């Protein structure tokens, strides 16, 4: 069963703007990961945040995790057309080492 | 080499055919995965191999038969599929089947069952 629910389902912005995607989940987790998928292709791992971390940065990406609210957000700063893709959060439950993906956010960045 | 390769890229098969999907990685990863992804949906886990042994089968129908001949290769044998099995089949690998490891995905095989 799906664990994460992304919000919004679709997001359309201009190049240079920031994009924020949110993910909510239902059960306790070991960690939460974000992946990007370009149209009809494989997924690329972006960032992993552990349950005892609150914020993590990687280049133009910033991820936050609030375990009390069971939610995470992914911020992409200064978006580029090449950031156009679907973004999925994936949770790893405590005691179960597999990824459960959310429904994803489709991001469109227009030049 | 941080690449997972999958062949073929596209496959069209009839419901009576037998075909196989192949996946290969040379990163020394000891966990490999098969996922199924329908259009505009997230990937769904099918199988997990850990150290060449099947460790998780997510109640997948027997018309899908996985095989791990060695630590670098993963196959998915297909037989008597249904049109609703048409999807993107993704292979992934990770250093080990532990929660803290990221997964590396191949580009997928686009399967159409006619």
A2-17 CB burial, b ≥16 within 10 A, e <16: ebbbbeeeebebeeee
Q: What confidence tens digit (pLDDT) does each residue in B43-57 have?
A: 999 999 999 999 999
Q: What integer is the mean pLDDT of B69-94?
A: 96
Rounded to 5°, angle at Cα B91 from A96 and B69: 95
Q: Provide mean pLDDT across the span A58-67.
A: 97
B:65-94 residues touching chain A, CB 8 A cutoff: 88, 90, 92
Residue B105, pLDDT score: 96
Average pLDDT of every residue of chain B: 94
Residues of chain A contacting B106 with CB distance shorter than 8 Å: 42
Which residues make beta-bridge pairs with A62? A57, A75
Cβ distance of A43 and B105 shorter than 8 Å: yes
Least reliable range by pLDDT among A1-5, A26-30, A74-78:
A1-5
Query: Chain A neighbours among B 21-40 (CB < 8 Å)?
Result: 33
- How much is the CA Rg of chain A, to the nearest whole Å? 13
Q: How many CB pairs below 8 Å do chains A and B form together?
A: 51
The pLDDT of residue A1: 44
Query: In the predicted model, what is the mean pLDDT of residues A92-102?
Result: 80
Instruction: Report whether pLDDT(A42) > 50.
Output: yes
Is the pLDDT reported for residue B99 higher than 80? no
Residue A12 has pLDDT above 70, yes or no: yes
Determine the pLDDT at residue B96: 85
Percent of chain B residues past pLDDT 70, beyond the cut: 97
Q: How far is B16 from chain A (nearest CA, A)?
A: 26
Mean pLDDT on B72-94: 97
- Predicted local confidence at residue A93, as pLDDT: 77
Compute chain B's Rg from CA coordinates: 13
Distance from CA of B9 to the nearest CA of A (A): 10
Whole-number Å distance between alpha carbons of A23 and A39 = 20
- The predicted structure's pLDDT at residue A39: 87
């Amino acid at each position: 069963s799906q664990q994460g629910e992304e919000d919004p389902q679709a997001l359309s912005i201009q190049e240079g703007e920031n994009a924020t995607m949110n993910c909510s989940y239902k059960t306790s987790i070991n960690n939460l990961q974000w992946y990007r998928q370009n149209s009809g292709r494989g997924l690329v791992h972006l960032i992993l945040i552990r349950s005892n971390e609150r914020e993590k940065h990687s280049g133009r990406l910033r991820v936050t995790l609030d375990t009390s609210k069971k939610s995470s957000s992914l911020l992409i700063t200064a978006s580029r057309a090449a950031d156009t893709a679907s973004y999925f959060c994936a949770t790893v439950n405590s005691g179960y080492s597999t990824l459960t993906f959310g429904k994803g956010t489709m991001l469109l960045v227009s030049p | 080499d941080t690449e997972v390769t999958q062949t073929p890229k596209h496959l069209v098969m009839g419901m009576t055919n037998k075909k196989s999907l192949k996946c290969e990685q040379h990163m020394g990863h000891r966990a490999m995965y098969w996922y199924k992804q329908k259009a505009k949906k997230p990937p769904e886990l099918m199988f997990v191999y850990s150290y060449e042994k099947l460790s998780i089968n997510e109640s997948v129908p027997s018309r899908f038969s996985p095989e791990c001949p060695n630590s670098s290769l993963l196959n998915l044998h297909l037989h008597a599929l249904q049109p609703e099995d048409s999807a993107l089949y993704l292979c992934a690998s990770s250093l080990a089947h532990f929660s803290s490891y990221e997964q590396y995905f191949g580009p997928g095989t686009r399967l159409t069952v006619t």
